[in-house]
Amino acid sequence: MRAMNRLEQPFRGATTLQEQINRIFGEGVGHTGMESNLTPWAPAVDIYETENELVVKADLPDVNPQNLDIRVENNILTIRGERKFESKVNEDNYLRIERAYGSFSRSFSLANSVKTDAIKADYQNGVLTLSLPKREEAKPKQIKVTVGTHAVGTHTMAAAAGAR
């Protein structure tokens, strides 16, 4: 294999500069090499609301769904788990490690409008989807408007019409 010269690696020093900046601002203090990416991490989450439910989607690639702990306590939804570092590859063979590994925990306050006993969880293609159905009283209710009727009793209206 031929060696690359400096002109073929224009960004060769960029990694070193980034590491120096990280050290200045305290990232990875006390960690070296492989350990620096084994720090706690938090998966990205999207939360949206529909008429009937709240939906939480969490990016959890390479997390075994059997190792997820999802619970609701005192109206707080907590998702816990761990992404383990693969030891199938020799550490010396890695050229770059950017993904974070280790345990994580995310917690979210829930409104009283959620039916906590009916929450469903689905894991597909590295995405955890939680469906949190709303209680009936929390769902929007439409009130039908009728034309030509009054809140006044029909006897009063008939009497008023006959008095003319």
Residue range 81-90, pLDDT digits in tens: 999 887 788 8
pLDDT confidence of residue 23? 59
Q: Which of 28, 8, 6 is nearest to 18 (CA)?
A: 28
Q: What is the pTM of this model?
A: 0.61
Q: What is the mean pLDDT of residues 79-105?
A: 86
Cα end-to-end span (Å), the chain: 109
Long-range contacts of 33-41 (CB under 8 A, 24+ apart): 34/85, 34/91, 34/94, 34/97, 37/97, 37/98, 37/99, 37/100, 37/101, 38/85, 38/100, 38/101, 38/102, 39/100, 39/102, 40/100, 40/102, 40/103, 40/104, 41/83, 41/100, 41/101, 41/102, 41/104
Q: What's the pLDDT tens digit per position in 27-67?
A: 544 444 444 444 478 999 999 999 899 999 999 999 999 99
pLDDT at 97: 83
Write the DSSP symbol of residue 9.
-
Q: What is the pLDDT of residue 26?
A: 57
**What one-letter code names the amino acid at 84?**
K
Question: In percent, how much of the chain has pLDDT > 70?
Answer: 65
State how far the alpha carbon of 111 is from the alpha carbons of 72, 81, 126, in Å. Answer: 12, 24, 27
pLDDT at 43: 93
Domain covering 40-157 assigned CATH 2.60.40.790 in the classification: yes
**Whole-angstrom distance, CA of residue 150 vs CA of residue 84:** 68
Cβ 162 vs Cβ 155: under 8 Å: no
Which residue's structure tokens are 């720090």? 39
DSSP annotation of 85 reads P
Using the predicted structure, report yes or no on whether residue 153 has a pLDDT greater than 70. Answer: no
pLDDT (tens digit per residue) in 105-151: 999 998 888 999 999 999 999 999 999 999 887 667 788 888 987 65
Structure tokens belonging to residue 98: 């950017």
